[in-house]
Amino acid sequence: MEFGVVRKDVETAARVGRLSTAHGSFDTPVFMPVGTAGSVKTLSPRDLVELGAGIILGNTYHLYLRPGHERVRRLGGLHRFMSWGGSVLTDSGGFQAFSLGSAREHGVGKIGVFPGRPLDNPLSANVVDICPVGALTSTRFRFAERVWYLDKKPSLCTGCDVGCNVTIEHRRGRIRRYKPRLNPEVNDHWLCDFGRTTAERYDELPRLLAPRIRKDGTDNDLIECAVENLLRLKAGHCFLIVMRGAFPINVLNSVKDCREVTHVFCATANPVQVVLAASEQGRGILGVIDGSSPKGIELDTDITQRKKFLRDIGYKR
Ligand code: SF4
Protein backbone atom coordinates (compact mmCIF):
# COMPACT_ATOMS: atom_id res chain seq x y z
CA MET A 1 0.00 0.00 0.00
CA GLU A 2 1.36 3.45 -0.90
CA PHE A 3 0.30 6.96 -0.13
CA GLY A 4 1.45 10.24 -1.66
CA VAL A 5 0.30 13.84 -1.73
CA VAL A 6 -0.59 14.85 -5.26
CA ARG A 7 -1.71 18.45 -4.72
CA LYS A 8 -1.62 21.08 -1.98
CA ASP A 9 -3.49 24.33 -1.59
CA VAL A 10 -1.03 27.22 -1.21
CA GLU A 11 -3.24 29.20 1.18
CA THR A 12 -4.71 26.48 3.37
CA ALA A 13 -3.58 23.10 4.65
CA ALA A 14 -5.92 21.35 2.23
CA ARG A 15 -4.34 18.60 0.16
CA VAL A 16 -5.24 15.77 -2.18
CA GLY A 17 -3.59 12.43 -1.59
CA ARG A 18 -3.52 9.21 -3.54
CA LEU A 19 -3.71 5.83 -1.86
CA SER A 20 -2.74 2.77 -3.86
CA THR A 21 -3.52 -0.77 -2.79
CA ALA A 22 -3.26 -4.15 -4.48
CA HIS A 23 -6.83 -3.53 -5.72
CA GLY A 24 -6.40 -0.09 -7.23
CA SER A 25 -5.88 3.59 -6.47
CA PHE A 26 -8.16 6.35 -5.28
CA ASP A 27 -7.77 9.95 -4.20
CA THR A 28 -8.26 11.18 -0.66
CA PRO A 29 -10.26 12.57 1.00
CA VAL A 30 -12.62 9.87 -0.18
CA PHE A 31 -16.24 8.98 0.39
CA MET A 32 -16.44 5.27 1.20
CA PRO A 33 -19.78 3.56 0.63
CA VAL A 34 -20.61 1.39 3.61
CA GLY A 35 -20.84 -2.34 3.03
CA THR A 36 -20.82 -3.45 6.64
CA ALA A 37 -21.96 -7.04 6.21
CA GLY A 38 -20.60 -7.71 2.72
CA SER A 39 -22.85 -5.59 0.51
CA VAL A 40 -23.65 -1.93 0.04
CA LYS A 41 -27.38 -1.85 0.56
CA THR A 42 -29.47 -0.97 -2.54
CA LEU A 43 -26.41 -0.73 -4.84
CA SER A 44 -24.88 -3.41 -7.01
CA PRO A 45 -21.09 -3.68 -7.50
CA ARG A 46 -21.59 -2.27 -10.99
CA ASP A 47 -23.42 0.76 -9.54
CA LEU A 48 -20.44 1.34 -7.28
CA VAL A 49 -18.01 1.22 -10.18
CA GLU A 50 -20.16 3.62 -12.19
CA LEU A 51 -20.32 5.98 -9.21
CA GLY A 52 -16.51 5.99 -9.14
CA ALA A 53 -16.19 4.41 -5.71
CA GLY A 54 -12.53 3.53 -5.19
CA ILE A 55 -12.98 1.81 -1.87
CA ILE A 56 -15.83 0.51 0.27
CA LEU A 57 -16.14 -0.30 3.92
CA GLY A 58 -16.73 -3.65 5.60
CA ASN A 59 -16.87 -4.63 9.22
CA THR A 60 -14.98 -7.64 10.45
CA TYR A 61 -17.15 -8.17 13.49
CA HIS A 62 -20.43 -8.10 11.56
CA LEU A 63 -19.00 -10.36 8.87
CA TYR A 64 -17.87 -12.74 11.60
CA LEU A 65 -21.41 -12.82 13.02
CA ARG A 66 -23.17 -13.07 9.69
CA PRO A 67 -22.52 -14.63 7.18
CA GLY A 68 -19.60 -15.92 9.26
CA HIS A 69 -15.89 -15.97 8.46
CA GLU A 70 -15.94 -19.67 7.49
CA ARG A 71 -18.59 -19.08 4.86
CA VAL A 72 -16.73 -16.04 3.49
CA ARG A 73 -13.57 -18.13 3.23
CA ARG A 74 -15.43 -20.99 1.56
CA LEU A 75 -16.85 -18.61 -1.02
CA GLY A 76 -13.42 -17.35 -2.06
CA GLY A 77 -12.68 -14.51 0.34
CA LEU A 78 -14.29 -11.16 0.86
CA HIS A 79 -13.71 -9.67 -2.60
CA ARG A 80 -15.27 -12.63 -4.39
CA PHE A 81 -18.03 -12.85 -1.81
CA MET A 82 -18.90 -9.19 -2.50
CA SER A 83 -18.16 -9.34 -6.23
CA TRP A 84 -16.04 -6.26 -5.71
CA GLY A 85 -12.65 -5.84 -7.30
CA GLY A 86 -11.72 -2.52 -5.70
CA SER A 87 -10.23 -1.80 -2.32
CA VAL A 88 -12.00 -2.65 0.92
CA LEU A 89 -11.39 -1.11 4.31
CA THR A 90 -12.47 -3.29 7.20
CA ASP A 91 -12.09 -2.07 10.72
CA SER A 92 -11.08 -4.68 13.23
CA GLY A 93 -14.55 -4.87 14.67
CA GLY A 94 -13.12 -5.54 18.10
CA PHE A 95 -14.67 -2.44 19.60
CA GLN A 96 -18.10 -3.23 18.23
CA ALA A 97 -18.20 -6.03 20.76
CA PHE A 98 -18.46 -3.24 23.32
CA SER A 99 -20.48 -0.67 21.47
CA LEU A 100 -23.38 -2.59 19.99
CA GLY A 101 -25.62 -2.58 23.03
CA SER A 102 -28.19 -0.46 21.25
CA ALA A 103 -28.35 -3.00 18.40
CA ARG A 104 -29.38 -5.86 20.63
CA GLU A 105 -32.90 -5.83 19.29
CA HIS A 106 -31.43 -6.60 15.86
CA GLY A 107 -29.97 -9.82 17.14
CA VAL A 108 -26.47 -8.46 17.66
CA GLY A 109 -24.65 -9.23 20.89
CA LYS A 110 -24.14 -6.87 23.78
CA ILE A 111 -21.23 -6.56 26.15
CA GLY A 112 -21.99 -7.78 29.64
CA VAL A 113 -20.29 -9.00 32.76
CA PHE A 114 -19.13 -12.53 33.27
CA PRO A 115 -22.07 -14.66 34.56
CA GLY A 116 -22.12 -14.62 38.35
CA ARG A 117 -19.30 -12.07 38.53
CA PRO A 118 -20.97 -8.65 38.90
CA LEU A 119 -18.85 -5.57 38.41
CA ASP A 120 -19.35 -4.22 41.90
CA ASN A 121 -15.93 -3.52 43.37
CA PRO A 122 -15.06 -0.06 44.79
CA LEU A 123 -13.10 0.82 41.64
CA SER A 124 -15.62 -0.45 39.08
CA ALA A 125 -16.38 2.93 37.51
CA ASN A 126 -12.82 3.11 36.17
CA VAL A 127 -14.03 0.97 33.25
CA VAL A 128 -15.52 4.19 31.87
CA ASP A 129 -12.03 5.65 31.52
CA ILE A 130 -10.34 2.59 30.08
CA CYS A 131 -12.96 1.80 27.45
CA PRO A 132 -11.03 2.54 24.23
CA VAL A 133 -13.95 3.90 22.22
CA GLY A 134 -15.98 5.59 24.94
CA ALA A 135 -18.75 3.00 24.54
CA LEU A 136 -18.87 2.34 28.29
CA THR A 137 -20.31 5.42 29.93
CA SER A 138 -21.41 6.41 33.41
CA THR A 139 -25.15 6.26 33.98
CA ARG A 140 -25.21 9.68 35.56
CA PHE A 141 -23.19 11.48 32.89
CA ARG A 142 -24.58 9.68 29.85
CA PHE A 143 -26.13 12.25 27.49
CA ALA A 144 -26.06 14.88 30.26
CA GLU A 145 -23.61 17.13 28.45
CA ARG A 146 -21.66 17.31 25.24
CA VAL A 147 -18.12 16.81 26.44
CA TRP A 148 -16.62 19.47 24.20
CA TYR A 149 -18.67 22.15 25.99
CA LEU A 150 -17.25 21.26 29.41
CA ASP A 151 -14.75 23.52 31.16
CA LYS A 152 -11.95 21.77 33.01
CA LYS A 153 -10.12 22.60 36.21
CA PRO A 154 -7.36 20.56 37.87
CA SER A 155 -8.23 19.83 41.49
CA LEU A 156 -8.11 17.26 44.27
CA CYS A 157 -10.82 14.85 45.33
CA THR A 158 -12.15 15.78 48.76
CA GLY A 159 -13.71 12.38 49.38
CA CYS A 160 -11.00 11.41 51.86
CA ASP A 161 -7.51 12.43 52.92
CA VAL A 162 -5.77 10.45 50.15
CA GLY A 163 -6.24 13.52 47.95
CA CYS A 164 -6.49 11.84 44.55
CA ASN A 165 -5.77 14.15 41.64
CA VAL A 166 -8.83 14.94 39.56
CA THR A 167 -9.98 17.12 36.73
CA ILE A 168 -13.29 18.72 37.52
CA GLU A 169 -15.39 19.06 34.39
CA HIS A 170 -18.09 21.66 34.79
CA ARG A 171 -20.52 23.80 32.89
CA ARG A 172 -22.81 26.67 33.82
CA GLY A 173 -21.86 26.52 37.50
CA ARG A 174 -22.49 22.78 37.86
CA ILE A 175 -19.88 20.09 38.31
CA ARG A 176 -20.76 17.47 35.73
CA ARG A 177 -18.13 14.85 36.43
CA TYR A 178 -14.81 14.01 38.05
CA LYS A 179 -12.10 12.46 35.92
CA PRO A 180 -8.86 11.06 37.32
CA ARG A 181 -5.74 13.16 36.72
CA LEU A 182 -2.48 11.27 36.46
CA ASN A 183 -0.33 11.34 39.57
CA PRO A 184 1.84 8.22 39.87
CA GLU A 185 2.63 9.05 43.50
CA VAL A 186 -0.98 9.20 44.64
CA ASN A 187 -3.69 7.73 42.43
CA ASP A 188 -1.95 6.90 39.16
CA HIS A 189 -4.79 6.89 36.58
CA TRP A 190 -7.59 5.86 38.95
CA LEU A 191 -10.37 7.08 41.24
CA CYS A 192 -12.50 5.10 43.65
CA ASP A 193 -16.23 5.07 42.97
CA PHE A 194 -16.96 7.09 46.11
CA GLY A 195 -14.59 9.84 45.04
CA ARG A 196 -15.89 9.79 41.48
CA THR A 197 -19.43 10.48 42.69
CA THR A 198 -18.33 13.49 44.75
CA ALA A 199 -19.88 15.74 42.13
CA GLU A 200 -23.29 14.23 42.88
CA ARG A 201 -22.90 14.96 46.58
CA TYR A 202 -21.84 18.54 45.84
CA ASP A 203 -25.14 18.98 44.04
CA GLU A 204 -26.93 18.13 47.28
CA LEU A 205 -25.02 20.63 49.45
CA PRO A 206 -26.78 24.01 49.39
CA ARG A 207 -24.06 25.70 51.43
CA LEU A 208 -21.75 25.55 48.45
CA LEU A 209 -24.15 27.69 46.50
CA ALA A 210 -25.00 29.93 49.46
CA PRO A 211 -22.58 30.09 52.43
CA ARG A 212 -24.26 29.40 55.76
CA ILE A 213 -23.58 30.26 59.38
CA ARG A 214 -22.84 27.06 61.27
CA LYS A 215 -23.59 27.06 64.98
CA ASP A 216 -22.81 24.80 67.87
CA GLY A 217 -22.59 25.05 71.64
CA THR A 218 -24.14 24.21 75.00
CA ASP A 219 -25.91 27.49 75.82
CA ASN A 220 -28.75 28.69 73.62
CA ASP A 221 -28.36 32.35 74.64
CA LEU A 222 -24.70 32.37 73.70
CA ILE A 223 -25.40 30.56 70.41
CA GLU A 224 -28.02 33.18 69.61
CA CYS A 225 -25.57 35.97 70.51
CA ALA A 226 -22.89 34.51 68.22
CA VAL A 227 -25.34 34.09 65.32
CA GLU A 228 -26.69 37.62 65.77
CA ASN A 229 -23.20 39.10 65.64
CA LEU A 230 -22.15 37.00 62.67
CA LEU A 231 -25.23 38.14 60.80
CA ARG A 232 -24.25 41.74 61.51
CA LEU A 233 -20.64 41.14 60.44
CA LYS A 234 -21.63 39.45 57.16
CA ALA A 235 -17.95 38.48 56.81
CA GLY A 236 -16.60 35.50 54.87
CA HIS A 237 -15.02 32.48 56.49
CA CYS A 238 -14.60 33.38 60.18
CA PHE A 239 -15.30 32.00 63.65
CA LEU A 240 -16.87 33.73 66.63
CA ILE A 241 -16.79 32.10 70.08
CA VAL A 242 -18.94 33.60 72.82
CA MET A 243 -18.28 32.61 76.44
CA ARG A 244 -19.87 33.42 79.79
CA GLY A 245 -18.31 32.91 83.25
CA ALA A 246 -14.98 31.98 81.69
CA PHE A 247 -11.75 33.67 80.63
CA PRO A 248 -11.25 33.83 76.83
CA ILE A 249 -7.49 33.86 77.31
CA ASN A 250 -7.68 30.41 78.89
CA VAL A 251 -9.02 28.78 75.71
CA LEU A 252 -6.71 30.64 73.38
CA ASN A 253 -4.15 27.87 72.96
CA SER A 254 -6.85 25.34 72.16
CA VAL A 255 -8.28 27.67 69.54
CA LYS A 256 -4.83 28.17 68.02
CA ASP A 257 -4.39 24.40 67.86
CA CYS A 258 -7.40 24.15 65.56
CA ARG A 259 -5.93 23.58 62.08
CA GLU A 260 -8.45 25.80 60.36
CA VAL A 261 -7.53 28.85 62.43
CA THR A 262 -4.93 30.99 60.67
CA HIS A 263 -5.40 34.21 62.63
CA VAL A 264 -6.85 35.15 66.02
CA PHE A 265 -8.11 38.73 66.16
CA CYS A 266 -8.82 38.88 69.90
CA ALA A 267 -9.60 36.87 73.02
CA THR A 268 -11.17 39.47 75.22
CA ALA A 269 -13.86 40.48 77.65
CA ASN A 270 -13.68 44.09 76.41
CA PRO A 271 -16.17 45.78 74.16
CA VAL A 272 -15.02 44.98 70.59
CA GLN A 273 -15.51 46.77 67.31
CA VAL A 274 -14.69 44.90 64.08
CA VAL A 275 -12.96 46.60 61.15
CA LEU A 276 -14.29 45.21 57.88
CA ALA A 277 -13.47 45.53 54.21
CA ALA A 278 -16.00 44.93 51.46
CA SER A 279 -15.46 43.96 47.82
CA GLU A 280 -17.71 42.67 45.06
CA GLN A 281 -17.02 39.16 46.40
CA GLY A 282 -18.04 39.83 49.99
CA ARG A 283 -16.76 41.16 53.29
CA GLY A 284 -13.70 40.28 55.35
CA ILE A 285 -12.36 41.15 58.80
CA LEU A 286 -9.26 43.35 58.67
CA GLY A 287 -8.86 43.66 62.45
CA VAL A 288 -10.61 44.62 65.66
CA ILE A 289 -10.66 47.50 68.11
CA ASP A 290 -10.32 45.66 71.40
CA GLY A 291 -11.24 47.94 74.36
CA SER A 292 -10.92 51.76 74.47
CA SER A 293 -8.05 54.25 74.13
CA PRO A 294 -5.84 54.73 77.25
CA LYS A 295 -6.94 57.56 79.50
CA GLY A 296 -3.56 58.08 81.25
CA ILE A 297 -0.54 56.23 82.71
CA GLU A 298 -1.05 53.56 85.35
CA LEU A 299 -0.21 54.71 88.92
CA ASP A 300 0.77 52.53 91.90
CA THR A 301 -2.77 52.76 93.20
CA ASP A 302 -4.05 51.61 89.78
CA ILE A 303 -1.71 48.61 89.90
CA THR A 304 -2.94 47.64 93.35
CA GLN A 305 -6.53 48.07 92.26
CA ARG A 306 -5.97 46.04 89.06
CA LYS A 307 -4.36 43.13 90.89
CA LYS A 308 -7.09 43.12 93.52
CA PHE A 309 -9.75 43.11 90.80
CA LEU A 310 -8.12 40.16 89.05
CA ARG A 311 -7.95 38.25 92.33
CA ASP A 312 -11.56 39.15 93.14
CA ILE A 313 -12.87 37.75 89.85
CA GLY A 314 -10.73 34.63 90.25
CA TYR A 315 -8.41 35.27 87.28
CA LYS A 316 -5.31 35.40 89.46
CA ARG A 317 -4.58 34.20 92.99
S1 SF4 B 1 -10.91 9.16 44.84
FE2 SF4 B 1 -11.42 7.87 46.61
S3 SF4 B 1 -9.45 7.41 47.56
FE4 SF4 B 1 -9.12 9.17 46.19
S5 SF4 B 1 -9.37 11.00 47.52
FE6 SF4 B 1 -11.36 10.56 46.54
S7 SF4 B 1 -12.45 9.30 48.03
FE8 SF4 B 1 -10.27 9.24 48.60
Dump pLDDT digits (tens) for 195-220: 998 877 777 766 566 788 999 999 99
Of 90-99, 245-254, 292-301, the range with the lowest mean pLDDT is 90-99
Q: Whose CA is nearest to atom 4 of ligand 1?
A: 164
Residue nearest to atom 6 of ligand 1 (CA): 195
Q: Ligand 1: does its nearest atom lie under 6 Å from the Cβ of 123?
A: no
The number of the ligand 1 atom at minimal distance from the alpha carbon of 156 is: 5
Residue 138: pLDDT band with limits 50, 70, 90:
confident
List pLDDT tens digits, range 25-72. Answer: 999 999 999 888 888 988 899 999 999 999 999 888 888 888 898 999
pTM as predicted: 0.43
Ligand 1 contact, 192 CB (< 6 A):
yes
List of long-range contacts for 220-223, beta carbons under 8 Å, 24+ apart: none
**Residue 133 scores a pLDDT above 70:** no
pLDDT at 108 over 80: no
Least confident among 164-173, 176-185, 206-215, 286-295: 206-215
* 212-271: pLDDT as tens digits: 899 999 999 999 999 999 999 999 999 999 999 889 988 999 999 987 899 999 999 999
Angular region, 279: left φ>0, alpha ψ -120 to 50, beta rest:
beta
C-alpha to C-alpha distance for 194 and 52, rounded to whole angstroms: 55
pLDDT the model gives residue 100? 54
Query: What is the pLDDT at residue 119?
Result: 87
Q: Find out whether the beta carbon of 38 lies less than 6 Å from any atom of ligand 1.
A: no
Please determine, for residue 95, whether its predicted confidence score (pLDDT) is greater than 90.
Answer: no
Q: Are 171 and 144 in contact (CB under 8 A)?
A: no
**Ligand 1 midpoint to CA 164 (Å):** 5
Q: How far apart are CA 42 and CA 309, in angstroms?
A: 105
Distance 186 CA to ligand 1 centre (A): 10
Q: What is the pLDDT of residue 202?
A: 76
**Closest ligand 1 atom number to CA of residue 186:** 4
SS3 106: helix
Is 162 near ligand 1, meaning CB less than 6 Å away? Answer: yes
Say if strands 174-180 and 272-278 run parallel, antiparallel, or are unpaired: unpaired
Mean pLDDT, to the nearest integer, of 154-180? Answer: 91
Distance in Å, CA 198 to ligand 1 centroid: 9
Q: What pLDDT, on the 0 to 100 scale, is given for residue 106?
A: 54
| Alpha carbons 102 and 248: distance in angstroms, whole number | 67
pLDDT score at 103: 52
For residue 187, the CA-to-ligand 1 centroid distance in Å is: 8
CA distances to 108, 122, 171 from 192, rounded to whole Å, are 32, 6, 23
Mean model confidence pLDDT for the chain: 88
**In this predicted structure, what is the pLDDT of residue 284?**
96
Q: Does the CB atom of residue 165 touch ligand 1 within 6 A? A: no
**Who wins on pLDDT, 210 or 126?**
126
